[in-house]
Amino acid sequence: MTDRVSFWERIGFRSVGGIAEAGWGRTLVVAVVSFIYFLPVLFIIFTAIKPQGLALSVPPTLSPTSFFGLIPDQFVFTPTLDNFASVFSRVMTAGGQPESTGFDRFFFNSIVIASASVLLALVIGTLAAYGFSRYPLKGNDTYLFIILTTRMLPAIVVIIPVILMFRAVGLSGSYLGIIMLYTAFNLAFTVWMMKSFFDELSTDVEDAARIDGSSEIKVFFKICLPQVIAGLAATFVFGLILTWNEFLFALLLTGPDTRTVPVAMNQAVSSGGRGTDWTLLAAIETLFLVPIFLATFFLQDHLLRGVTFGTVRK
Amino acid sequence: MQLMSTIQSAKTAPALLELSAGNWRLAVLVGLVVSALAVVALPASGSFWVVGAMSALVAAAFAVNAYRRRYYGGLLVAPAIAVLFVMNIFPLLWSLGLSFFAYQSNLQSIRFVGLNNYIKVLTDEVAAPANWNALINTAMFAVCTVSVQMIVGFLLAMLFAKQFPLRKYLLILVLTPMMLSVVASGVFFTYYYDPTFGILSYVINSLAGGQFIVMDSKAGAVAGIVFADAWMWSPFVMLLVLAGLVSVPRYLYEAAAIDRVSAWRRFWSITFPYIRGLLMLALLFRTIEAFKLADLVIVLTKGGNDTMTISYHLIRIANEQNKTSEGAAISYIILFIVIVLTNLYLYVANPKNREA
């Protein structure tokens, strides 16, 4: 750590630790609030396991169980898993016309685009973060701040030129174009987050290795990288949260072959109107949520650091 | 002939790289001048290739120079800067250039008009009212949704600020809305708001007794969008505030307990100083994101009931009506507003300025 006052300390961040304990009373209060907050998501999940015809019933069916008699019987339905099966077997209609591609294709696109761009950002961003952390350049803070501003820019400001640029070089509708764009958008977070992980490592071992004659490349791969594996994973998940559900750029820059799930979902709904298959959509959304939910759950503690750009150290 | 020129360029490129690596400041200057000339003289797609080649050359020169002088830091950082330059900074510069020209992406003609685009989007009798309206709508959305998010996020953070049983499991429940895509939640909010089978409408109908259509009036549509947006993004504010609350050292509270300081006083003089910076950061991010509010509007109202926001308006102008340079001018006006807001926030967040 440098003892110079950083940009963040200058605008009022300090780093210290400590958290108080509370009992089951607090748990009860928070559980009620969290449950109410979670209700809309729960409704989507329950819709996904409803039988086909019940999505539009009046009075609405609410739950697969009566929750020990809390919910009157008229609101209870029998759960089914058919909707999940039909996500991959059925043909969706978009734009009013039957379309030959199903959601298996869109899921494939989403997975390829999100993981490729996040991995690319991780490789490039980790190198840069290591550079910023170990070989401070003249005007280091300025470079870091410039990188952060690319995240702060409202995306719409960049949309028009990016669309033009992609049209000019024939990248719109291709995997490469959208992957590169997402890579650029993930870079800011990656650099800031990975830098905070590298900054926390002690440099003693590295210096010892250097004295023993290890090359700079060997120091990076053999000593530094293994120590920040958890950080890499957290950064990966954080990028995934941002990219997995991105809609606006995907809407404008993907073609029929590279369409991602959010865009396809929007098209399926906006073309159908009342004819929208809600149970199927709910099943798609539930499937779409699962990986990101699990990843977030297991890396919660590290994620907190990503959101705050490592400004609060624990 | 083709072969000859290929061979020649294969020979000249390393020499050019050699020359520019030695004088890379000169290379940057030449690159800038050639790029500027290309943007003025060539149609958009042509200028893209020239500017692209120039920036690649400058980046290569920088990398070679850094490697020779053992600037490993520069070398490590160069790929990131290059990607950001190509995908963010170059498009921005290009659109700044375009905003001074009359250019439509479906026509090839391009003509220098100076500041006319800016004057047109702000004052023209036909074009300006829609722009202003969208801008005012966006400001209204920003004020409503950001203030709701800050309050809800702050209260949620206060709930989670202590260590208690099952905390980790309850926290993930609150974080889930943030993980849903805007489309996913937006689409399902149309379902909740639907007048005949929507769950929210059902509740309101059975309470009020009469038919109530949420998205039918401007106030209803705005409230519907703000509700959905705030529900999705309050957890983000919560995470930031929580990070601040957790970092307050416990001994300060213990000292306050001994001195019998009131709860209100304890909050203002112990807790608040620790979360002020993060609150500002949350406010900053959410305000910037509020200018982006388009996806929810697209899904929920398609801009109906006077809920057109500046982002959605901009997409329509530039992508559907092909008024590219007008769109570029509008986006620079937005950028200007965001920069002013950002600096205002940073000024307020800086403790030195606050004490003065």
- Per-residue pLDDT reduced to its tens digit, B82-117: 888 888 887 888 788 888 888 776 776 677 777 888
Q: How far is A80 from chain B (nearest CA, A)?
A: 20
A217 band by pLDDT with thresholds 50, 70 and 90: confident
Predicted confidence at residue A12, as pLDDT, reads: 47
pLDDT greater than 90 at residue A179: yes
Give the pLDDT confidence score for residue A115 in this predicted structure: 93
* Mean of all residue pLDDT scores within chain A: 78
Mean pLDDT, residues B61-67: 77
Partner A, chain B 12-51, Cβ-Cβ below 8 Å: 44-45, 48-49
Strands of chain B (E only): list them.
101-103, 110-112
Angle at B170 between CA A237 and CA B281, to 5 degrees: 55
**B184 and A184 in contact by Cβ < 8 A?**
no
A–B: how many Cβ contacts below 8 A? 344
Compare A280 and A276 and report the one with higher pLDDT.
A280
Those residues whose C-beta lies under 8 Å from the C-beta of residue B133, and which sit 6 or more positions away, are: B306, B308
Smallest Cα distance from A262 to chain B, Å: 6
Q: Which of B91, B180, B273 sits opposite A289 (nearest CB)?
A: B180
pLDDT at res. B267: 83
Helices then strands (H, E): number in chain B? 18, 2
Please check whether residue A279 is in contact with residue A55, taking contact to mean a CB–CB distance below 8 angstroms. yes
Task: Tell me: pLDDT of A313 over 80.
Answer: no
Residue B8 has pLDDT above 70, yes or no: no
Whether the CB of A269 is below 8 Å from some CB of chain B: the reply is yes
Contact of B271 with A14, CB cutoff 8 Å:
no
Q: Kindly report whether the global pTM for this prediction surpasses the value 0.95.
A: no
pLDDT confidence of B146, banded at 50, 70, 90? Answer: very high
Q: At what angle do helices B272-290 and B128-160 cross, to 10 degrees?
A: 150
- Average pLDDT over every residue of B187-194: 82
Q: How far is B87 from chain A (nearest CA, A)?
A: 6
Query: What value does the mean pLDDT take over residues A15-28?
Result: 67
Instruction: Flag whether pLDDT at B143 surpasses 90.
Output: yes
Q: Report yes or no: B200 at the A interface, CB cutoff 8 Å.
A: no
Question: What's the ipTM?
Answer: 0.77
Mean pLDDT value of segment B267-273: 83
How far is A46 from B129, CA to CA, in rounded Å?
45
DSSP 8-state secondary structure symbol assigned to residue A137: P
pLDDT digits (tens, 9 = 90+) for A68-127: 767 777 677 777 777 777 777 655 555 544 444 477 888 889 999 999 999 999 999 999
